[in-house]
């Protein structure tokens, strides 16, 4: 039983983008074959060479906020199985430098708790330690090299 959820892009939002033929920012849905290194934010695993994927602009915020950030992420071009084990840190995304970007309960960035992790640190423990702080509401786990959002982590039961 986990008290933290590691969240992919919601399947419903992706389905709406596919059916609209564009992402939520108006970029066309343009499938292409994966090279095999791309991290997929729909199912939180690496791509396999030749899979049909798309590069979209995505923002994890669902309500308007001055803190909102949007950026490029790879996703499967078609519907996929998603990420079923949301209580488990995505193993495919371990082993790279990460930037943990935490937010407080007002939605503002919790600057004091911004954390950079080396590839060989315990990323799961670091995310859980941040979320155990009462002032931290949720964490965006990003690539420390490129800044791209990998996934969001929230306490179980939070909105």
Contact 100, 93 (CB under 8 A): no
Q: Should residue 42 be labelled a site residue for Zn ion when binding is judged by CB under 5 A?
A: yes
Q: Should residue 76 be labelled a site residue for Zn ion when binding is judged by CB under 5 A?
A: yes
Exposed (0-12), middle (13-18) or buried (19+): which is 97, by Cβ within 10 Å?
Answer: middle
Longest distance between any two alpha carbons in the chain, whole Å: 44
Among 4, 7, 34, 43, binds Zn ion (CB under 5 A): 43
Classify strands 71-76 and 98-103 as parallel, antiparallel or unpaired.
unpaired
- Least spacing, CB of residue 58 vs Zn ion, in Å: 13
Contact 149, 71 (CB under 8 A): yes
Q: Should residue 80 be labelled a site residue for Zn ion when binding is judged by CB under 5 A?
A: yes
Classify strands 149-155 and 138-143 as parallel, antiparallel or unpaired.
antiparallel
- Least spacing, CB of residue 148 vs Zn ion, in Å: 16
- Least spacing, CB of residue 79 vs Zn ion, in Å: 8
- Least spacing, CB of residue 39 vs Zn ion, in Å: 10
Q: Which is nearer to Zn ion, 40 or 136 (CB)?
A: 40
Q: Should residue 40 be labelled a site residue for Zn ion when binding is judged by CB under 5 A?
A: yes
Helix (H, G, I), strand (E, B) or coil at 102: strand
- Least spacing, CB of residue 46 vs Zn ion, in Å: 11
Give the C-alpha separation, 121 to 159, whole Å: 29
Q: Which is nearer to Zn ion, 42 or 54 (CB)?
A: 42
Helix (H, G, I), strand (E, B) or coil at 21: coil
Question: Which residues in 108-147 contact Zn ion (CB under 5 A)?
Answer: none
Instruction: Choose the binding region for Zn ion from 68-76, 92-100, 109-117, 138-146 (rule: CB under 5 A).
Output: 68-76
| Contact footprint for Zn ion (CB under 5 A) | 40, 42-43, 76, 80
């Amino acid at each position: 039983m986990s008290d933290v959820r590691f969240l992919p892009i919601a399947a419903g939002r992706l389905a709406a983008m596919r059916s609209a033929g564009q992402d939520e920012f108006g970029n066309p849905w343009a499938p292409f074959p994966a090279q095999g290194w791309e991290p997929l934010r729909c199912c939180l695993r690496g791509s396999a060479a030749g899979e049909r994927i798309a590069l979209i602009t995505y923002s994890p915020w669902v309500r308007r906020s001055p803190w909102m950030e949007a950026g490029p992420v790879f996703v499967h071009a078609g519907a996929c199985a998603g990420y079923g084990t949301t209580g488990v840190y995505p193993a495919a995304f371990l082993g790279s430098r990460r930037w943990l970007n935490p937010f407080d309960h007002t939605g503002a960035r919790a600057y004091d708790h911004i954390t950079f992790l080396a590839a060989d640190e315990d990323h799961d423990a670091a995310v859980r330690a941040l979320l155990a702080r009462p002032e931290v509401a949720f964490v965006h786990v990003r690539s420390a090299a490129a800044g791209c959002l990998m996934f969001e982590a929230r306490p179980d039961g939070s909105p």
